[in-house]
Amino acid sequence: MTSRAETAAGTRRDLLDAATALLDEGGPEAVTLRAVGSRAGVSRGAPYGHFADKEDLVTAVAVEAWTTLTRQLRALTTEPARDDRARLLRALSATLEVARTRPHLYAVMFATPRRDPEALIRAASESQEVFLALVAAVVGAQDARRTGAALMAGVHGVAGLDVAGHLGTAKWGSTGEEILTLLVDRVAG
């Protein structure tokens, strides 16, 4: 027999999955509590039992995305016999991949909710700490924060140009991956 808590958790999961799909398909404008409830196959009022409003729901989707990215970054830290530079490059590439394949999700991951941003800040901060450990393995702990900020600014720039269609070998003679490699090589000295 399924308990109420299990049913509620399952409904929440269905709502998050539906919201994520709608976000991927049409951006934040496509995510309404009514559309999410319909996609999840629940009553119109069901989403309100789990999320205060659309912003709360989209924030929960962004928190999950950060958690997934953090898991990917953490997996890089435990790979045996990997070059630290290669790990750092793979971390940047993972971030770029989210921007390329899920641009709307990427945008909400880096947006600050108007209300109650704490959960999103915690999730992003956890990811940042794992990323900074990867940076520190290459440049040392003393320079990790500043270098990490420069690398993150770089990957955001690459992502923005790439997603907008302004990056490519025809225009710049380089791909996003080549630019990320250049950035890692420069900071690694």
Q: Phi-psi region for residue 32, left (φ > 0), alpha (ψ -120 to 50) or beta?
A: beta
Per-residue confidence (pLDDT) for residue 25, from 0 to 100: 97
Per-residue confidence (pLDDT) for residue 35, from 0 to 100: 96
Domain at 1-51: CATH code: 1.10.10
Which of 159, 174, 189 is closest to 84 using CA atoms?
189
Amino acid code (one letter) for 72: Q
Where helices occur in the chain by DSSP H, the ranges are: 4-26, 33-40, 54-77, 84-101, 103-109, 118-139, 144-163, 169-172, 176-188
76-86 burial: b if 16+ Cβ within 10 Å, else e: beeeeeeebbe
Q: Could you list the pLDDT tens digit for every one of the 189 residues in the chain?
A: 555 555 767 899 999 999 999 999 999 999 999 999 999 999 888 999 999 999 999 999 999 999 999 999 999 998 876 799 999 999 999 999 999 999 999 999 999 888 878 999 999 999 999 999 999 999 999 999 999 999 999 999 999 999 998 888 788 889 999 999 999 999 998
pTM of the full predicted structure? Answer: 0.91
Give CATH superfamily name and number for 55-188.
Tetracycline Repressor, domain 2 (1.10.357.10)
Query: Using the 8-state DSSP alphabet, how is residue 78 labeled?
Result: T
Could you state, in order of their start, the residue ranges of all structural domains in the chain? 1-51, 55-188
